[in-house]
Chains A and B, each alone.
Chain A
Amino acid sequence: MRKLPLLARLAGYRVAHAAGGPRQLPVNLTVSVTYSCPSRCATCDIWQKKVDDLSVDEYGRLFPTLQKVPVWVTISGGDQFLRGDLDEIVRLIKTQIEPSIINIPMNGIITERIFQLLPKIAHHTVGSQLVLNLSVDEMGEAHDRLRGAPGNFEKLELAAGLIHDLKKTYTHVVLGVHTVISKLNVDRIPAIEREARAVFRPDSYIAEVAENRVELKTMGKDITPDVADFRRATTHLGNVIRAHRSRHPVARLVESLRLEYYELAARILEENRQVIECYAGLASAHLAPDGHVWGCCVRAESMGNVRDHAYDFRAVWDGATADAFRASVKAHECACPLANASYTNLLLDVPSLARVSANMVGIGS
């Protein structure tokens, strides 16, 4: 099946959003494969959730119904590497969805499993970009304390070494470092960024604001940094991106999106409203480990479960519950700086897209 060009697809989302035209499947999909996690992060309690995870066979029935529309697939958790069949799930994503970008955020804890599976995952994803984002929230033992995982930082260094070795034979592999900016580390972001670049030598360094998410069971937690502190941190990160632009096209695109995202996230925190239109539930979606389809993981409201619809994603996506979610988002009943959905929103906002494009080719700030 020939894929519709991305720009045409983006135009379709805008029409559907504005006029309720024909619905497309999401271009940006997050597949959460488990809630289980050995980390006990100060900013996340997802590990407390226990569900019956979808099996490889179930994914094998589900993914073809996405009709190869998603261009960007994020495989999240929990700790995805707790699943010994993660390589098989990734292989199905690659062969049945054929996304251009596969993104796996990693806590790096289960070293032996990572060493066992990551080479296979790298091989399965040849032809797409495989972005491996190491989660680094602090340096050394301070990181271990923040993540509630003794020895984690040392293990991250092992994982980074492996990824650097993989890059020598698999040119599609990209190493990223990702920091969650919370009240607990916001003052240290410039130092964390500088030291993490020195230790892990990533292709890109990105950060996201800690927020209250239903998915993460953090709704009552006081973790989101003050807006002024967040702005200081992201101003620094923006300056660093401008000073050290990556030459890798995917990393460069991510950096350009990040520059826009940092500004957008700060404004959303300041103004507590959708600064640009949100296309969650329209252009982006989240598949929970137990088969529930969400418009986004911040609200984590089920549009339906694929298990109840013969594993047909479209049947859930076209349902009345999904339409109600979209109507609520369109009515601006929520606002959040969720990075994953924000990326798609930025691509669908013409002024933002123009700035991202100009930035990619080195024009403007």
Chain B
Amino acid sequence: MSVGWRREEEAVRRFVQSVAAAYGAATVLADAPRAGDAAGATEVRVVLPDALAAGVDRVDLVVSWDAPARAAGAAGWEEYLAALARRAQKALLVLARNAERPGQGSSPDTTALARVLWQVGRVRQHAYLGLPRLVASSDVVEAPAGALVRRVARIHAFVVDTAPRTPQARRRLRTVAAGPAGA
């Protein structure tokens, strides 16, 4: 395993941990071992993508690795991410190959991913991971990033807040949870 690859692996591991910690995620589901290394105090279960998408029980954080490439059928990744978001009580973390880097195959670009992710929640973080030290001293470079970072990074990550997005939406949820008035 090359130094660059190990650095990328380490960056992904630390990023997943930081997101789990930031959201206080006690329960985490991941669709690949590589995405599931949240370590620390969190309980992490790695399940097959099909099982993850089809399940109904909710967890605090769902982590997905390269969903657009792995989801069944090229057109299925949008529905797959939406299904994952429904299972995430607090956040969905999507790690994907960065389409702006040459030679990344048919990964959807940031705009295509953003359209889907903004439909299922609020994208709170977009970061580029595992950059060569010559490009960035840090493991993680937050967007908006410069052109060089966008062209060089192999992976980028989106943290999607799946909790209700506005005070009104949160109030409405509380009202629904409390049941009908006078009941």
B151 within 8 A of A: no
CA A259 to CA B158, docked complex, whole Å: 38
Which of the 9-residue segments B26-34, B44-52, B130-138, B165-173 touches chain A? B165-173
Q: Is the CB of B166 within 8 A of A169?
A: no
1/0 contact string of A169-195 vs chain B (CB within 8 Å): 111000000000000000000000000
Q: Is the CB of A170 within 8 A of B111?
A: yes
Most chain B C-beta atoms within 10 Å of own C-beta, residue among A111, A119, A158, A168: A168
Q: For chain A, residues 147 to 161, give those with C-beta under 8 angstroms from any C-beta of chain B.
A: 158
Q: Is the CB of A123 within 8 A of B168?
A: no
B126 within 8 A of A: yes
Q: Is the CB of A169 within 8 A of B122?
A: no
Most chain A C-beta atoms within 10 Å of own C-beta, residue among B113, B119, B125, B144: B144
CA A119 to CA B115, docked complex, whole Å: 8
Closest-by-CB residue of A relative to B158 is: A169
Q: Is the CB of A112 within 8 A of B111?
A: no
Q: Is the CB of B123 within 8 A of A112?
A: no
B95 to chain A, nearest CB (A): 15
A165 within 8 A of B: yes
B117 within 8 A of A: yes
Q: Is the CB of A126 within 8 A of B111?
A: yes
Q: For chain B, residues 99 to 158, give those with C-beta under 8 angstroms from any C-beta of chain A.
A: 110-111, 113-115, 117-119, 122-126, 142-144, 158
Closest-by-CB residue of A relative to B118 is: A119
B141 to chain A, nearest CB (A): 12
Most chain A C-beta atoms within 10 Å of own C-beta, residue among B117, B142, B166: B166
Give the residues in chain A near B117, CB-CB below 8 Å: 169
Closest-by-CB residue of B relative to A120 is: B118
Q: Is the CB of B115 within 8 A of A112?
A: no
Closest-by-CB residue of A relative to B121 is: A119
Give the residues in chain B near A169, CB-CB below 8 Å: 110-111, 113-114, 117-118, 123, 126, 143, 158
A260 to chain B, nearest CB (A): 28
CA A215 to CA B113, docked complex, whole Å: 41
Q: Is the CB of A115 within 8 A of B144?
A: no
Count of inter-chain pairs, beta carbons less than 8 A: 49
A303 to chain B, nearest CB (A): 38
A167 within 8 A of B: yes
Q: Is the CB of A165 within 8 A of B122?
A: yes
Contact A123 to B111, CB < 8 A, known contacts A165-B124, A169-B123, A171-B144: yes
Q: Is the CB of B118 within 8 A of A168?
A: no
Closest-by-CB residue of A relative to B127 is: A168
CA A128 to CA B124, docked complex, whole Å: 23
Give the residues in chain B near A219, CB-CB below 8 Å: none
Closest-by-CB residue of B relative to A172 is: B111
Q: Is the CB of A170 within 8 A of B114?
A: yes
Closest-by-CB residue of B relative to A170 is: B114
A165 contact from B113, B123, B168, Cβ within 8 A: B123
B139 to chain A, nearest CB (A): 18
B143 contact from A112, A123, A158, A168, Cβ within 8 A: A168
CA A115 to CA B168, docked complex, whole Å: 11
Give the residues in chain A near B113, CB-CB below 8 Å: 169
Closest-by-CB residue of A relative to B125 is: A168
Contact A168 to B144, CB < 8 A, known contacts A123-B114, A123-B118, A126-B111: yes
A162 within 8 A of B: yes
B173 to chain A, nearest CB (A): 12
CA A206 to CA B178, docked complex, whole Å: 45
Contact A112 to B158, CB < 8 A, known contacts A168-B142, A169-B143: no
Closest-by-CB residue of A relative to B172 is: A112
A123 contact from B115, B126, B158, B165, Cβ within 8 A: B115
1/0 contact string of B16-57 vs chain A (CB within 8 Å): 000000000000000000000000000000000000000000
Give the residues in chain A near B166, CB-CB below 8 Å: 111-112, 115, 158
1/0 contact string of A100-136 vs chain B (CB within 8 Å): 0000000000011001000110110010000000000
CA A65 to CA B140, docked complex, whole Å: 48
Q: Is the CB of B158 within 8 A of A111?
A: no
Give the residues in chain B near A119, CB-CB below 8 Å: 118-119
CA A243 to CA B164, docked complex, whole Å: 40
Contact A167 to B124, CB < 8 A, known contacts A111-B166, A111-B167, A123-B111: no
CA A167 to CA B125, docked complex, whole Å: 10
B166 to chain A, nearest CB (A): 5
A211 to chain B, nearest CB (A): 34
CA A123 to CA B126, docked complex, whole Å: 16
Give the residues in chain A near B110, CB-CB below 8 Å: 169
5 pairs from A and B in contact (CB 8 Å cutoff): A111-B166, A111-B168, A115-B166, A123-B115, A165-B123
Per CB-CB distance, the 6 closest pairs between chain A and chain B, nearest first, are A169-B114, A119-B118, A168-B126, A168-B143, A112-B168, A112-B166
7 other A-B residue contacts (CB within 8 Å) besides A119-B118, A123-B111: A111-B166, A115-B166, A162-B122, A168-B125, A168-B143, A169-B113, A169-B118
